[in-house]
Structure 1
């Protein structure tokens, strides 16, 4: 089932609270010794959420003044794909790209203005290692990112027989955690997909006749969702409360 189900056997209320983190340049400081000796950056893990709408990601190179630079090189190694190399030679103002066409990866402005990189529409294929190296007469300065792409799941429910309910989170990345209140006799199964997403399905049964309302809590890095299900009523009511912070393509 790929949408919230509707049935006269259950009453449910749905509250969705999602915060989408836009990837921004948060660390523009290059560590140096006495402001002269280059130091290679430690690999930094960053995460950005993929949307049906366009989401940008901004990866920052070292903040070395470009007047000191000789060559700027971005080396991009997506998981399971050929590498892409983008470079800019300062003295000749020459740019060069190797195997980068059609990947939605560009300089933020022009490389003579900024060495930073932009992914204009984040997708699963953008996961991987991104390394920016600035060559100067004093040595090379490097910044390395491990980019993780998060995929929000599509949460649905379906009724079962004999006081049973099913809560399913479809194609999320990473896999969600599902819990129920009150506790029941529950079985949760994961199904991994070839694109790296995971579907989690939890089926729960309550023996006690005094349990009439239950809730399914879906926990994920992109936000949490709670489904409140009334097992005893036969009227359908739904209420959605969503909070979305989305970075759009401009």
Structure 2
């Protein structure tokens, strides 16, 4: 089954340009785009009127590109064009980063906005991520990302950075409240809905989100108290709740990802 999920709020002209760019990538680079999603603030659930379109994709090359001592690049980057930002990873790169604890691929797999993709591929890759992703490493990814953005906010007071800190903090909270899971939703409203949170925080987030939705440039200012307290508390808690760890069974993780990669490349 082919995947396609585009909100009516997105500019159809820009969506058409993304479709054309993905077609061009497949044709010129001799690859198959297996999944292409929106990965920026539109998919996170807090876009501004002038938010970029951040299309990210996972692709598989032709078999001969993997059967050579001279491998090609494992990233395809297209030129920025206005609000358009379209880039992708080779499946092998995506799997290596997944195993290393990078949560980016996980987020692509949970994006609510899908430009194109194969439903079976996404389901199988989600299942694999659930098997091989290390909870602590994924959480440490969010902790590093969030504390960096929070530090930037404290230095320039840009309210945009508040959201870039809040979403990782919410992912950390979600992981703590779902101790059997390693894959957290990327969509901020979903994270909020699936956690036990005080009403004061939910109200503050709703007000700030509404402001961002109608303001082209949020500017700088003080962050609402409930949000600041939540962010700082979650980052402090995560340092203890998600310690640095080594994989307990690296051979199994490599075997599972290798099997998935071979199946996908040989099926082309």
Range class of TM-score, shorter chain: under 0.3
Larger radius of gyration: 1
What TM-score, normalized by structure 2, do the two folds share?
0.21
Higher percent of residues as strand: 1
Higher percent of residues as helix: 2
What TM-score, normalized by structure 1, do the two folds share?
0.22
